[in-house]
Amino acid sequence: KLFPRFEENASTPAYRIFLTDNFRSDSSIIDFTNGICSVMMNTDPCDPMYTAEDALICGKKTDTCHNVIVSVFDLQQRSGDDQEEAVSNPESSYIAHEIASILSSGAYTADQIAILARNNATLEKVDAALKELSIPTSTQLDAPFFKQKEIITALSFLHAIDNPCRDIYLLGIMNSPIFGFTADELFSIRQGKTQDAYYTSLVNMAETSTSLGNKCAAFVQTLQTLRKSARELTSDALLWKLYTEYHFFALFPTRMAGDNLRFLHTLARNGEATAFNGLHGFLRILNRMMEKGDSCAIPSGKSGFQGVRLMTIHGSKGLEFPVVFLAGAAGLYNTESQNSKAIFSPSLGCTFSLPSESGYSKVNTCIRKAARMESAQSMSKEEMRVLYVAFTRAKERLYITASPRSLPALLRRTMPDSISYSHKVLDKSRQIQTANSYLDLIFLSLSQDPGFKQWILSYPTENPSNRYQFTSQPVTIYFNPAKKEDQTDESFYLFEQKILDFSRKSIKKALGFQYPYQGTTKIPKKISVSQLNSGRYTVDEI
């Protein structure tokens, strides 16, 4: 009321702008969001969350429009030893290579691309895949400093110089790219003598005249030279000597790796100002930090957001990016709160399972079941809102990736048997309310659309590949419940009318029910003879 519309009074400098009418995303993203949300958020007729007034309206005019792409990777196609790698590699690798392709085209820079996920574990997998392609990343999370490859290599080198009889560190630096000992060579050096320190076996092998012996002799000579230097140099000077002579910055060329190596050098320089100076003292400082759980984390975006942004969906609220990847859409919701010993409900209070009569088990009470159902419904609605936030962060391109355990099972569960809208409307609504992942929500919502089968480009039934790609067609996907008069499927309206009539009768019968033996409810469990003789109760009541 304080700010009238511009057209109402063109002379006033103040006017209102409705964001829903001026949304900055492309029409394909707007239509995709409206199509999904208009179905998944309106399964409860008593509490619709996405009405016609909530639908977004594209206020952006562009010549080209990129379709929303949903890429699904079927983990069921992998088995055996590849199963563990399949959990992260195909999806993360696809995202990394797709970003590399986008960057090589020159249409976008790295800081215009964002990767969103529900949890940090998914982001870490994608971050690792991006680093393999030397794509710069920027994340709001702190990098696990002591778990970085460059830091592990540097610390292994320092520990081997300080005490070569510590097998793990010695093997770590020998197997690193700096010296390049293979696993077979390390096994041959041991020669089955597991009782001695590995360094002893290394020295013995260095005395032989074989090619492996010559390689070991060169390494032992290098280690002895560095041990002499460690007695004369400060820890920071020794560390920088390793960086330059063994080309650490070339072996680990990413910006984050360089920042980590320089920060480790800063820690060494600061350690020289304390009582724990020298190489051994510096390693003692680092060991204490790791024992206390101090990650020494360096925010990878400290020099500005110059790389691909990785963040949780909650952390992306209020932000927009030209290109957005929603990763890990098949990840299951966290339902720990619904399985806890005590479930709190705003309307029912705190509910518990009660001990059984035997005392050896627990009984799940009706109140606790109701509280659990209420908690599940609340969580489902919140996850829908979070998914809406993820969709609307994208301005020009939206990619959704997922790795379900079994894609065929997902499609059998969500794909309609016919294009007719009368396919198990009630069952689908219930399935949406009990969905346990974003991918389930997306597919179940699309299965309510008569154009879902046209939306699926292909689904091979024989020799399917590990990756299936679906591309949105905004006109086909978009479904607005407010436009029912445009539908021509009369069978759907007849089916819907039967559902409504049945629902009205059921509700009226349930609310208007009266117990036929109301009088018996007034009779106490125990009645004395005098009470019966008093005539207080009739024969019919008894």
Taking residues 309-320, what's their average pLDDT?
87
Residue of higher predicted confidence among 214 and 495: 214
Taking residues 62-67, what's their average pLDDT?
76
8 A C-beta contact, residue 324 and residue 114? yes
Taking residues 272-291, what's their average pLDDT?
84
**With bands split at pLDDT 50, 70 and 90, how would you rate the model's confidence at 435?**
confident
Tell whether the model's pLDDT for residue 294 goes beyond 70: no
* pLDDT tens per residue, range 7-23: 555 565 665 566 656 56
Tell whether the model's pLDDT for residue 362 goes beyond 90: no
Taking residues 19-48, what's their average pLDDT?
78
Taking residues 2-8, what's their average pLDDT?
53
Measured at the CA of 423, the angle between CA 419 and CA 426, to 5 degrees, comes to 145
What's the mean pLDDT when you consider all of the chain? 76
8 A C-beta contact, residue 96 and residue 90? no
What pLDDT was estimated at residue 502? Answer: 52
| Ramachandran sector of residue 293 (left: φ over 0; alpha: ψ -120 to 50; beta: rest) | left
Instruction: Provide CB contacts within 8 A for 181, sequence distance 6+.
Output: 174, 175, 189, 215, 219
Taking residues 48-72, what's their average pLDDT?
79
> Tokens 């092998």 belong to which residue?
205
Measured at the CA of 290, the angle between CA 289 and CA 296, to 5 degrees, comes to 65
Q: Which of 69-73, 240-244, 469-473, 536-540 has the lowest mean pLDDT?
A: 469-473
* pLDDT tens per residue, range 82-136: 444 434 478 898 899 999 999 999 999 998 999 999 988 888 889 889 988 888 8
Tell whether the model's pLDDT for residue 307 goes beyond 70: yes
Two tokens, residue 11: 């002379």
Residue 33 one-letter amino acid: T
Q: Which of 240-254, 331-345, 438-452 has the lowest mean pLDDT?
A: 438-452
What pLDDT was estimated at residue 113? Answer: 94
Tell whether the model's pLDDT for residue 63 goes beyond 90: no
Taking residues 215-244, what's their average pLDDT?
93
Q: Phi first, then psi: what are they for 307, rounded to 5°?
A: -120, -175
* pLDDT tens per residue, range 143-165: 577 888 899 999 999 999 999 99
8 A C-beta contact, residue 122 and residue 130? no
For 321-461, where are the alpha helices, taking DSSP H only? 366-391, 407-414, 425-433, 438-447, 452-455
What pLDDT was estimated at residue 345? Answer: 82
What pLDDT was estimated at residue 136? Answer: 85
In the chain, what percentage of residues exceed pLDDT 70?
Answer: 73
Tell whether the model's pLDDT for residue 274 goes beyond 90: no
Residue of higher predicted confidence among 450 and 27: 27
* pLDDT tens per residue, range 479-525: 222 333 443 444 334 444 444 555 566 677 767 778 787 777 777 77
Q: Which of 266-270, 396-400, 476-480 has the lowest mean pLDDT?
A: 476-480
pTM, full prediction: 0.58
Sorted by where each starts, the structural domains of the chain and their CATH numbers stand as: 145-291 (1.10.486.10)
Tell whether the model's pLDDT for residue 228 goes beyond 90: yes
**With bands split at pLDDT 50, 70 and 90, how would you rate the model's confidence at 142?**
low
